[in-house]
């Protein structure tokens, strides 16, 4: 499960996205954003890529790429596209941190999280978009801190995703692990390496950074530095879990942010756009 920041934008849109996700296609702007992030990643590291994976192999690749990023962060002070998986309040969350920076020297070595957003227009985003991006980055800080400060629940992970811990990884993945300096034949052995590495990693800084780039030429439009707000994030997470667990219906956007409906791909089927429905406040 991804973080609940999409639901913060509009729970009804989030619900429709889940319902119709197999028909959803990335827009040209989304494709350009993905390409930009791939280029930024390739500037600093090369990840493990393996095709035709079993479920166990796919997870092994994800954890190996975490190890690559963690080692790069510790040795070079910078890594990008770090995959995360964490158990929060009984629910599994996955995500990818755009960028982590950490001083290579000194005693106060705590990574700072950075997220780069690409824009189709040469303007900074609306306040609602900034709010959503801040919450997303705070979610990733929370997942990082949870991952490095708690024992990863291995048995729960295997059971939740119906995985075989003794699954013999493909020779290609074993070779990739060997090239990275690890000996691992099974998914469980990869998880043990992941657990061991996490114990060496520090909590992240409370100062977070959002960067906004113009898609046309990758020029910097502006930066937004802000402080992690634990109370706001916990409220978001609790609200999101109530919605996901079916304890309440999805909310529509508030009247003041009804402009979001104009750029929503589900506008034609959403009740918020009918004359018989009054938009409810979140």
pLDDT in tens, 72-94: 999 999 999 999 999 988 889 89
pLDDT for position 131: 87
The 78-88 sheet, strands edge to edge: 78-88, 91-101, 112-119, 207-214, 220-227
Query: Above 90 in pLDDT, residue 243?
Result: no
pLDDT for position 5: 60
**What is the share, in percent, of the chain residues with pLDDT greater than 70?**
91
196-218 burial, b for 16+ CB within 10 Å, e for fewer? ebbeebbebbeebbbbbbebeee
d(CA 52, CA 44): 26
Q: With cut-offs at 50, 70 and 90, classify the pLDDT of residue 281.
A: very low
Question: Which of 34-43, 196-205, 271-280 has the lowest average pLDDT?
Answer: 271-280
pLDDT for position 8: 66
Query: Above 50 in pLDDT, residue 273?
Result: yes
Rounded mean pLDDT of 173-187?
92
| Distances, alpha carbon 276 to alpha carbons 10, 174, 249, 264, 273, in Å | 20, 59, 18, 19, 9
pLDDT for position 160: 95
pLDDT for position 137: 94
Residue pLDDT, tens place only, 103-155: 887 777 899 999 999 999 999 998 888 988 998 999 999 999 999 999 999 99
Output the average pLDDT for the chain: 85
């Amino acid at each position: 499960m991804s973080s609940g920041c999409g639901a913060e934008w509009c729970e009804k849109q989030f619900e429709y996205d889940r319902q119709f996700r197999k028909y959803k296609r990335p827009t040209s702007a989304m494709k350009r954003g993905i390409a930009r992030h791939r280029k930024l990643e390739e500037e600093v590291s090369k990840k493990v890529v393996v095709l035709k994976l079993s479920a166990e192999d796919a997870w092994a690749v994800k954890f190996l790429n975490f190890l690559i990023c963690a080692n790069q962060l510790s040795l070079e002070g910078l890594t990008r596209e770090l995959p995360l998986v964490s158990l929060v309040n009984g629910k599994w969350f996955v995500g990818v941190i755009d960028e982590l920076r950490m001083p290579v020297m000194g005693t106060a070595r705590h990574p700072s999280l950075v997220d780069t957003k690409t824009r189709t227009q040469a303007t900074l985003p609306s306040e609602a978009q900034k709010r959503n991006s801040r919450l997303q980055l705070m979610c990733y800080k929370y997942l990082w801190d949870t991952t490095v400060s708690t024992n990863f629940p291995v048995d729960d992970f295997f059971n939740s995703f119906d995985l075989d811990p003794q699954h013999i990884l493909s020779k290609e993945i074993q070779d990739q692990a060997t090239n990275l300096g690890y000996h691992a034949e099974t998914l469980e052995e990869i998880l043990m390496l992941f657990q061991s590495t996490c114990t060496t990693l520090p909590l992240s800084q409370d100062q977070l950074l959002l960067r906004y780039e113009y898609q046309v030429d990758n020029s910097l439009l502006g930066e937004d530095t802000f402080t992690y707000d634990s109370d706001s994030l916990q409220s978001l997470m609790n609200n999101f879990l109530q919605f996901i667990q079916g304890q309440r219906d999805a909310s529509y956007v508030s009247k003041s942010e009804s402009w979001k409906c104009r750029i929503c791909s589900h506008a034609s089927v959403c009740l918020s756009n009918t004359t018989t429905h009054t938009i409810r406040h979140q």
